[in-house]
């Protein structure tokens, strides 16, 4: 089940196999065995790898939930065995966007909170608030975009300031060597972005910002994975947007080039349940708040 989920996310057996610690042939055998158990295909071949069938999409959603439940049960069992008093599950955007913030808190937890087990799972920003509501995670590290929190039960504080100002293009792309890009430079390049149903607020915010600078992006497809977008951009399949901080700390294979006139406030926000009383979770929240910038702004 985990192999299927990773394969669906990567869109390729060759890319999924290293993440799973398997050979490509071994992973292929697992997928064939899974399909035999179901009696119908879950994956189909596409131009750049594989994609879930309609039935595969349904299985992917259910498998993610089942794996999360299984992981939670195992983690709680291990904590009891190790004599750990509490735990905190953190849902976070990709580590390339949180940088030293997350690693600093994990180090603090190891040094100062040894009886608290901290677990990390990568979750897109729009999925973190429902995950907090449903108790699937205890803390969220999300992209701090306008209108992030609309639930009075969820509190948030902005830990870092950043801004969406750049185009992410492949390091080998002719535009990668430019100091600045104009909207006209990107007008004929395919734009790779998150699907609107996945994150409607961010989608509308970015498209509105494009309209304000006269940029009409070419959008032939949309995606539900940031890493899939980065991978395609690195393969010169198009470009996507990036924050100012990615200029100094680029995603592997990509270069961040400023777009003239583009500025969408962003950063990293800390999310939690407003009525949280668990002392372990409160201790982790305090550790995060201690690492944020001095001028961070509360957003809820």
pLDDT at 221: 81
The predicted-structure confidence for 54-78, as pLDDT tens digits, reads as follows 899 889 988 888 888 787 777 666 6
Distance in angstroms (rounded) separating the CA atoms of residues 274 and 281: 12
Q: Where in the chain is the domain with CATH 1.10.10.10?
A: 2-61
pLDDT in tens, 86-103: 789 999 998 888 878 888
If you write DSSP's letter for every residue of 9-22 in order, what string do you get? HHT-HHHHHHHHT-
What is the rounded distance in angstroms from the CA atom of residue 284 to the CA atom of residue 89?
10
**C-alpha–C-alpha distance, residues 72 and 137, integer Å:** 10
Q: Where in the chain is the domain with CATH 3.40.190.10?
A: 86-160+267-291
Instruction: Give me 54's structure tokens.
Output: 């309609």
CATH number attached to the domain at 162-265: 3.40.190.290
Model confidence, pTM: 0.67
For residue 119, what pLDDT is reported?
Answer: 87
CATH code for the structural domain at 86-160+267-291: 3.40.190.10
Q: What is the DSSP string of 211-230?
A: HHTT---B-S-EES-HHHHH
3-state secondary structure of 9: helix
Helix, strand and coil in the chain, % to nearest 5? 45, 25, 30
List, by residue range, all CATH 3.40.190.290 domains of the chain: 162-265
CB 119 within 8 A of CB 88: yes
Task: Indicate the helix (H) or strand (E) that contains 89.
Answer: strand 86-92
**Which residue is listed with tokens 């999300």?**
142
> 2-61: what CATH class?
mainly alpha
Percent of the chain surpassing pLDDT 90: 55
pLDDT digits (tens, 9 = 90+) for 1-56: 999 999 998 999 999 998 898 999 999 999 999 999 999 999 999 888 899 998 99
């Amino acid at each position: 089940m985990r192999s299927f989920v990773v394969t669906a996310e990567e869109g390729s057996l060759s890319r999924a196999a290293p993440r799973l610690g398997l050979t490509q042939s071994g992973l292929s055998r697992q997928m064939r065995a899974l399909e035999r158990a179901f009696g119908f295909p879950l994956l189909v071949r596409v131009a750049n790898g594989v994609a879930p069938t309609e039935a595969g999409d349904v299985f992917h959603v259910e498998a993610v939930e089942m794996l999360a439940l299984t992981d939670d049960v195992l983690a709680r069992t291990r904590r009891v065995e190790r004599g750990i008093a509490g735990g905190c599950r953190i849902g976070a955007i990709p580590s390339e966007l949180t940088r030293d913030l997350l690693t600093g808190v994990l180090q603090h937890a190891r040094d100062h909170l040894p009886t608290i087990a901290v677990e990390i799972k990568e979750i897109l920003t729009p999925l973190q608030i429902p995950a907090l509501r449903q108790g699937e995670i205890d803390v969220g590290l999300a992209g701090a975009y306008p209108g992030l929190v609309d639930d009075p039960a969820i509190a948030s504080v902005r830990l870092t300031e950043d801004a969406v100002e750049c185009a992410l293009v492949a390091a080998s792309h002719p535009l990668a060597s430019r100091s600045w890009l104009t909207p006209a430079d990107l007008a004929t390049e395919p734009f790779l972005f998150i699907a609107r149903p996945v994150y409607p607020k961010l989608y509308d915010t970015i498209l509105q910002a494009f309209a304000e600078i006269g940029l009409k992006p070419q959008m032939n497809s949309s995606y539900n994975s940031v890493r899939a977008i980065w991978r395609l951009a690195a393969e010169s399949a198009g470009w996507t947007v990036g924050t100012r901080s990615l200029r100094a700390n680029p995603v592997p294979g990509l270069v961040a080039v400023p777009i003239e006139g583009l500025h969408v406030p962003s950063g990293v926000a800390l999310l939690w349940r407003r009525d949280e009383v668990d002392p372990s979770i409160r201790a982790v929240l305090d550790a995060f708040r201690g690492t944020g910038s001095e001028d961070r702004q509360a957003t809820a």
